[in-house]
Structure 1
């Protein structure tokens, strides 16, 4: 089941608490006589995950570079962090055609997503922890950072344009992310300007009229200034057909660009400015009557998605200064998100529910303007003692409105929300002995929220105003022990928190009663091992999570009434992740996740059925597997190609069955997915063919049950094939 969003129309943002922090950072940076020269500090090192080394490096038997992550605000080796994480490089994103953050998460074992195919609605679970349907745009168990500044998880539909790497951090990340990292965090690092002139371009075309054009270029502009510009345009025919028109449901389009400038103010001080915009059109929530056909079919007015769109604009300033033994970073970011789309119960679904033979729709309109500021002081990379301390502030003005439906605007609802967040945090990793390290982190957060609603009905307007204040402490403590220089064990306890708030979908004052905050206790034991040359490695962990007052959204499909409830949940499981790179150009990756997640308390009075203790968590599969194989081999020249290299990649994914809703009315089927890419590279160019979902299974994006007997959901795209051409310089 899926819900929607809206936002405040020109709500202003007070910048007063933010800019003094940036001014302070500039003053400290420019006023310091720092002793060390710095290599442009804003860009962080790129990671190597499962990418296959070139045939030349294989033959020489070189040691591969370490996987470097930015999980705690500084460059660190992934193997040194005392919790599980997955790292996907930009090269892998391109080879696997993971074109959005949502696709990256769906391909990661241990991560589950409920989304309806629209651009603004999703629920994310990491290791079985997550809200049982989010109650608002502000309700998220997973934090997402883009280049060090937070962004709403409702924006996982944005593309992976010119991304350096994606880090998926598993388990509570309360020290740096506060109340948004109850289940984990996602760090999205884009490619930054460098002093070297370089870039790339690629073009793809495939079945369902899929197309993609993308290009990026960057390099030095002056002795102290470097820039980078990236752009992507993509689209396709929708894979669901509209029986009323005999054509695809819509023709989704996506256009994104990003520009960034890096200024080396002094040898130790740099400023990075970036601006980006993503625009997605003709996407809406998909409520398709089950069982689906081939192709899946809806029956609705073909024009309803013509004006559907989502835009995400982000502007950021990062100031970075390096002292003799520490580093000061200030990041200011402003994000403006707008979404408008109809939620359509098509004629087939309406008829099945006994509501007549015409579709019913309502328009959801959402806007969020968010200003964030983070000021942190921390250790330098490779320091013997890691430490970081900082202050953070964010203010969000947003709205979630339902201005009209099939019958006009007589029952319109307008809802405005304001959220202010303040935080003070610190974390350190200290070597107790040569082999034993202690990690401790703590954050104190303060949240202030207000809600103003206007409900129209029966010719009257009813107003509603509420306030909510909250303060909470999150953090972790961990011990890690080096069995050998290349193998370590760790144990971690972490406290997560998901703050309370207000229901985005309230249609009357009674529906806007605040929901309670959720608290998570998480325990993890694991190991990390890699060979001295980093050609093979294996990570594993077992964990247990207990969530008190998890957020449970109550929906009545007969009346469309949405209300808020809470329920305890728990999860336990195990993960394995490994890589093996051979000297003959072959490389293998594997990931395995087992999750046992259930609802621990009974909740009655829900419109579509009671939730019973012992029910499985919705959307969370017990088993998920990801296997990958890559092969790269130099070939003799042919067809005018002087130095061709054969490049192949095959990926397999298995996701087990999972309940469709908290009531466990029915299960979404398990599925297998196979993707492949075969290419010939020659010099700077590569020619390739690709195939997605070769087994032609159409996994469920979500599912929901409307009593007494109607089930609906949305299937993913089936098998498609295509060709591509890329060029790097």
Structure 2
């Protein structure tokens, strides 16, 4: 891994075409109020430990990405951030179903449930965003992003077992300043940003920022004759700072973001044989539907990279995100008291095509949600010559309401029912399932409170011991009700079980009424211990052990069924995760601090890992939580950056991550071992006939030893910049050239790894060139310059038909940007 890493570093170091991915200077945001200039190299101020210090002084693995670096590389939201931080994995099928993981851990990969907590905390100006979907907004006037790896529960309000993404925005200033930015590109890409800040009086300053982004979609829907998976984003943020003196300040903030694209569609990727009867697998089902509709001759494009789809259901990814907060800081002697009060909302209005085809199998699928969250954090930071500490109290309350509708279409009988030649059989009567509708009503109430703290004892000038602890209480209660109506609008009941072969039996095999009200609460005590030693002025070694947890979960989206088709109420709650984390690291600077090299090695073991599993059929819930007995993630990470001169900078980062299910004996089976008649309940599972139609299917699979989904073993990012001073059009400035890139090795996108959902590794390369001077920057850019074909995500279509759908990554894009500031 080190050899590969150093090779990339040397490649970057000899490149003369580079981007300003990491700024040469490290001027902190205006809110820092600290002058940080160092002609010899890079000094970056962070607040990872709730106090200002340089990144090299923090004894934990941390990636710091400046706002101008994010803009330069086109990574304008959390989803794109992984291109700059190799240890970060972000996968999305739509804003709600977004997984943000660090080192392979955080959010269970797959369909999202409101009933669990995320393991990667996302904070914007100290405000916790409880759902990943509520943090998919465009970065707006961002000063810096810190990606902290490993458990952070003794420093941050909400417990996080895998890490935290700490986003800091630019703050109001008492000096008048402003900036504007305009970008245009192919695919009708347009992005405009503006921010202005200044004093309203001697004690009051204000800042307002706006951004709008639009882009044509990347997939063409032949059914609707329009491009889909577009971008249509608008955001605004306003801040008001009251600072009567140097010891006291109040910052009021408000923000609102709106996304309204026609999104998020998929394309046909492949068909993989399952154990379902061959007449009930994808190709045979399409043939049967075509035969029942003379002249139809349905056929999907089988090349995912021609970017053609034929989805026939309405698509939408309407997303409204916003909130207000009040941050009070009061310096009291040697310490600072901070209060952060916040309310945030998230309004999600989706429409999906759940069968992933142009056939009318599922004609409607939508689950709009509304979230309100309230949080209050009190924190006291104390600093002295020998002792530093932070102690905090955190309270959190959340409610999420969801109203779901899913409806069967005219082709559902041929897709979901066993073939029959009897004209009276439901299989030959489309009206039996057409219009069959499941209406879901659900809510989640979540309450959390915590007392946390961390102490730094400077035993000597070189040795520091740093213990931390957290006491946490969580309570969750939910409600789920599914009402099923037939095509005539009549409510149906599946109790007692209807006679086989009847219309009602066919309907109950697709949707069953269900009511559940899971509820649980738990106390947890966790702690961590860090020892760090300054070997020399610019060499810091550290070791950390953390005992952490992820709180209990509840299955909020409905419960799976037992073998006798009854509801499995035992699956209503999910045990908390128990986490043991070990890490050692080395942080170094050399060559008069022009070069930085950091290395970390980690091992994280989790008992009762909360995994998302899938039922497979339309008639069961699509995804629910279950506990895997044990998971382990271990690896090595390296970060290198060099400021060779005012003319040249370069960086290269690498990560090796080995994340596995150490023990998961009752996992759902992958599609190649699903769909057939179940093996006897007392039989030893037989895995010897994957993809054999008609073979008996195991009731569950032992996937112990297999890789966690969504994790590439190898990931790299690199970049550099070379500039030349010139005078152009009477303007003094720099002409610069840049390159940045990233690589990820293959990974699997199914909770139980499947031979059909293996995503190939890929490498992306971006170039840019421009001219910048005092107060302006003009450059052209090309992203995915070599037009690499790659897949962002693969999904297994429900029904065990063998259909695999996916989302191709962005093709080559190009454009130009102009920025002004004063």
Q: What is the TM-score of this pair, normalised by structure 1?
A: 0.87
Q: Which residue of 2 aligns with 1:629?
A: 720
Q: 1:248 to 1:283 in 2, by over 3 A?
A: closer
Q: Which residue of 1 aligns with 2:462?
A: 435
2-side partners of 1:563 and 1:251: how far apart?
29
Measured after TM superposition, the shift of residue 74 of structure 1 is 1.5
Q: Which residue of 1 aligns with 2:791?
A: 700
Measured after TM superposition, the shift of residue 687 of structure 1 is 1.6
1:347-496 equivalences under 5 Å are 349-350=356-357, 360-380=363-383, 384-406=386-408, 410-457=437-484, 459=491, 463-496=515-548
Does 201-210 or 243-252 show the bigger shift?
A: 243-252
Measured after TM superposition, the shift of residue 664 of structure 1 is 1.8
State which of 685, 697, 706 in structure 1 corresponds to 2:776. 685
2-side partners of 1:409 and 1:192: how far apart?
53
2-side partners of 1:535 and 1:53: how far apart?
11
1:565 aligns with 2:537: no
Measured after TM superposition, the shift of residue 693 of structure 1 is 0.9
Q: Contact 2:441/2:480 (CA < 8 Å) preserved in 1?
A: yes
2-side partners of 1:221 and 1:607: how far apart?
63
1:330 aligns with 2:309: no
Q: 1:431 to 1:104 in 2, by over 3 A?
A: same
Q: Which residue of 2 aligns with 1:297?
A: 308
2-side partners of 1:202 and 1:674: how far apart?
24
1-side partners of 2:633 and 2:391: how far apart?
31
2-side partners of 1:250 and 1:563: how far apart?
27
Measured after TM superposition, the shift of residue 726 of structure 1 is 0.9
Q: 1:504 to 1:284 in 2, by over 3 A?
A: farther
1:655 aligns with 2:744: yes
Measured after TM superposition, the shift of residue 350 of structure 1 is 4.2
Q: Contact 1:486/1:532 (CA < 8 Å) preserved in 2?
A: no
Q: Which residue of 1 aligns with 2:33?
A: none
Measured after TM superposition, the shift of residue 708 of structure 1 is 5.5
Q: Contact 1:203/1:725 (CA < 8 Å) preserved in 2?
A: yes
Measured after TM superposition, the shift of residue 418 of structure 1 is 0.6
Q: Which residue of 2 aligns with 1:89?
A: 66
Instruction: List per-residue Cα deviations over 1:88-130 (Å, max 9, x = no partner).
Output: 00111111111111111343111112211x2221112211223
Q: Which residue of 1 aligns with 2:551?
A: 499
Q: Which residue of 2 aligns with 1:709?
A: 802
1:199 aligns with 2:199: no
Q: 1:415 to 1:565 in 2, by over 3 A?
A: same
1-side partners of 2:38 and 2:44: how far apart?
18
1:37-436 equivalences under 5 Å are 50-53=22-25, 62-64=39-41, 66-116=43-93, 118-133=94-109, 136-137=113-114, 138-152=116-130, 153-177=132-156, 180-291=159-270, 292-301=303-312, 304-305=314-315, 308-345=317-354, 349-350=356-357, 360-380=363-383, 384-406=386-408, 410-436=437-463
Measured after TM superposition, the shift of residue 409 of structure 1 is 8.2
2-side partners of 1:180 and 1:403: how far apart?
33
Q: Contact 2:612/2:751 (CA < 8 Å) preserved in 1?
A: no
* 2:133 counterpart SS class: helix
* 1:176 counterpart SS class: coil
Measured after TM superposition, the shift of residue 702 of structure 1 is 1.7
1-side partners of 2:246 and 2:720: how far apart?
43
Measured after TM superposition, the shift of residue 296 of structure 1 is 1.9
Q: Contact 2:265/2:311 (CA < 8 Å) preserved in 1?
A: no
Measured after TM superposition, the shift of residue 270 of structure 1 is 0.6
Q: Contact 2:218/2:230 (CA < 8 Å) preserved in 1?
A: no
Q: What is the TM-score of this pair, normalised by structure 2?
A: 0.77
Number of aligned residue pairs: 665
Q: Which residue of 2 aligns with 1:540?
A: 599
Q: Which residue of 1 aligns with 2:508?
A: none
Computing the radius of gyration over CA atoms, which structure comes out larger, 1 or 2?
A: 2
1:674 aligns with 2:765: yes
* 1:136 counterpart SS class: coil
Q: Contact 1:489/1:528 (CA < 8 Å) preserved in 2?
A: yes
Q: Contact 1:589/1:627 (CA < 8 Å) preserved in 2?
A: yes
Measured after TM superposition, the shift of residue 186 of structure 1 is 0.7
Q: Which residue of 2 aligns with 1:515?
A: 574
Q: 1:172 to 1:72 in 2, by over 3 A?
A: same
Measured after TM superposition, the shift of residue 79 of structure 1 is 1.6
* 1:120 counterpart SS class: coil
Measured after TM superposition, the shift of residue 701 of structure 1 is 2.1
Instruction: List per-residue Cα deviations over 1:43-66 (Å, max 9, x = no partner).
Output: xxxxx9821359xxxxx9824462
Q: Which residue of 2 aligns with 1:29?
A: none
2-side partners of 1:634 and 1:528: how far apart?
33
1-side partners of 2:157 and 2:706: how far apart?
29
Instruction: List per-residue Cα deviations over 1:676-695 (Å, max 9, x = no partner).
Output: 22111243222210111112
Does 567-576 or 107-116 show the bigger shift?
A: 107-116
Q: 1:301 to 1:49 in 2, by over 3 A?
A: closer
Instruction: List per-residue Cα deviations over 1:579-626 (Å, max 9, x = no partner).
Output: 100124100111010011111113336265535111111110000011
Q: 1:634 to 1:171 in 2, by over 3 A?
A: same
2-side partners of 1:708 and 1:308: how far apart?
27
Q: Contact 2:794/2:805 (CA < 8 Å) preserved in 1?
A: yes
Unaligned runs of 5+ in 1: 1-47, 55-59
Measured after TM superposition, the shift of residue 633 of structure 1 is 2.2
Instruction: List per-residue Cα deviations over 1:315-345 (Å, max 9, x = no partner).
Output: 1100110012000000001100010112213
Does 607-616 or 214-223 show the bigger shift?
A: 607-616
Measured after TM superposition, the shift of residue 463 of structure 1 is 3.9
2-side partners of 1:189 and 1:293: how far apart?
38
